């Protein structure tokens, strides 16, 4: 059998195998390494007010939802939106099924699912009202949603739950937007040790007295007897 005929037979065998439905395994390409993208690292939240203008202070007041005091936390560094500030300050945020986090429905689990299902926009008589203020200023009701507002560095963001209130009667957070002033206590000077004086301490003999006693002549042991004899 010629070489040309052998090649034709081999090609026919391959065609027969493929045409007969026999699967021919194709080697999988080697796995590719995942693409590494740069991720902006956000500093962790810190409890309490931001110490300076490098950050945004967030105050959350649960009002009638809880007996807890308003919570204060700092979102360090610049914040792109009010939602970023709220989450970067360490608060757990739940949006709605319809609008996502464009409409904040729960903060730290309140209101609970048995009173608010967060499917659509919460009712006007029970929702989280959104406030903002400069440091040392007054709370102002925000006319923009949290995803459409960029809080200035050093400012305050406030969230206060409005329950059975009218639009003109929404309660702002019960904490003033004022950053506490840190007063450094003066450092007490190190006490100076007392300087030695010439007054001898009782029970001790000064060195000069000891030296003088060594140089003085010894007393006459017979002097007292001579005086007694009248001599």
Contact 61, 70 (CB under 8 A): yes
Kindly tell me if the per-residue pLDDT of 14 is higher than 60: no
pLDDT of residue 17: 38
Determine the Cα–Cα distance for residues 19 and 83; give it in Å rounded to an integer: 60
Query: HSE on the CB side for 82, CA within 13 Å?
Result: 24
Which tens digits make up the pLDDT trace of 135-167? 999 999 998 999 999 999 999 999 999 999 887
Which tens digits make up the pLDDT trace of 16-31? 334 444 444 445 554 4
pLDDT of residue 71: 95
pLDDT of residue 46: 75
> pTM higher than 0.85, yes or no?
no
Structure tokens at 153: 């560095």
- Mode of pairing for the β-strands spanning 71-76 and 46-47: antiparallel
Question: Around Cβ 191, how many Cβ atoms within 10 Å?
Answer: 6
Domains along the chain? 46-169 (2.170.130.30)
Structure tokens at 127: 């929702």
**Which run of H or of E encompasses 57?**
strand 55-61
Structure tokens at 57: 């202070």
Contact 157, 55 (CB under 8 A): no
Q: Left if phi > 0, otherwise alpha if psi is -120 to 50, otherwise beta: which for 90?
A: left
């Amino acid at each position: 059998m010629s070489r040309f005929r052998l090649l034709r037979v081999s090609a026919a065998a391959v065609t027969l195998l493929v045409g007969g439905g026999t699967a021919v395994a194709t080697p999988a390409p080697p796995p590719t390494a995942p693409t590494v993208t740069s991720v902006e690292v956000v500093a962790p939240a810190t409890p309490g007010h931001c110490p300076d203008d490098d950050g945004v202070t967030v105050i959350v007041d649960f009002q009638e939802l809880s007996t807890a005091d308003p919570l204060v936390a700092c979102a360090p560094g610049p914040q792109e939106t009010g939602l970023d500030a709220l989450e970067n300050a360490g608060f757990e945020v739940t949006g709605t099924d319809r609008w996502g986090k464009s409409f904040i429905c729960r903060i730290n689990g309140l209101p609970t699912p048995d009173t608010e299902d967060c499917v659509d926009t919460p009712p006007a008589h029970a929702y989280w009202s959104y406030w903002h203020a400069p440091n040392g200023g007054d709370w102002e009701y925000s006319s923009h949603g949290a995803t459409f507002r960029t809080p200035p560095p050093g400012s305050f963001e406030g969230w206060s739950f409005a329950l059975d209130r009218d639009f003109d009667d929404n309660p702002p957070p019960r904490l003033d937007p004022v950053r506490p002033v840190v007063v450094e206590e003066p450092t007490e000077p190190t006490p100076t040790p007392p300087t030695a004086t010439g007054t001898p301490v009782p029970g001790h003999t000064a060195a000069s007295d000891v030296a003088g006693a060594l140089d003085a002549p010894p007393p006459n042991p017979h002097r007292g007897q001579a005086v007694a004899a009248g001599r």
